[in-house]
Amino acid sequence: MRLKRKNVERVVETAEQAAKLKSAGYKEIGGVSPAPPGHEAPGMALEELTVAQLRELAKEKGLEGCGSLSKAELVSVLKGVV
């Protein structure tokens, strides 16, 4: 489920998470939720992910200092880890 408040968008998986964000002023928005990093469809290339998704994937893999990297740099680093 996708929720949005001003220019901040959040993707949640449970009704409990959604209720918490709704109480904080988030509104549910339509559309299909993007696959969370690390759960993308088989064969999905790193190049197809957004910078935010790449940063989240790097965080999940335990990589530090990736916040200032460009998309190309993130893809390069993650190819050696994924």
DSSP string, 12-63: -SSHHHHHHHHHTT-EEE-SPPPPPTT-PPTT--GGGS-HHHHHHHHHHTT-
Helix (H, G, I), strand (E, B) or coil at 80: coil
- Whether residue 36 is predicted with pLDDT greater than 80 in this model: the reply is no
Ranges of each domain in the chain: 1-33, 37-82
Summarised one tens digit per residue, pLDDT across range 18-35 is: 889 899 999 888 654 455
**Distance in angstroms (rounded) separating the CA atoms of residues 31 and 33:** 6
Q: What is the pTM of this model?
A: 0.47
Confidence band of 47 (pLDDT split at 50, 70, 90): confident
**Distance in angstroms (rounded) separating the CA atoms of residues 50 and 42:** 17
**Distance in angstroms (rounded) separating the CA atoms of residues 82 and 58:** 9
Q: pLDDT higher for 5 or 43? A: 5
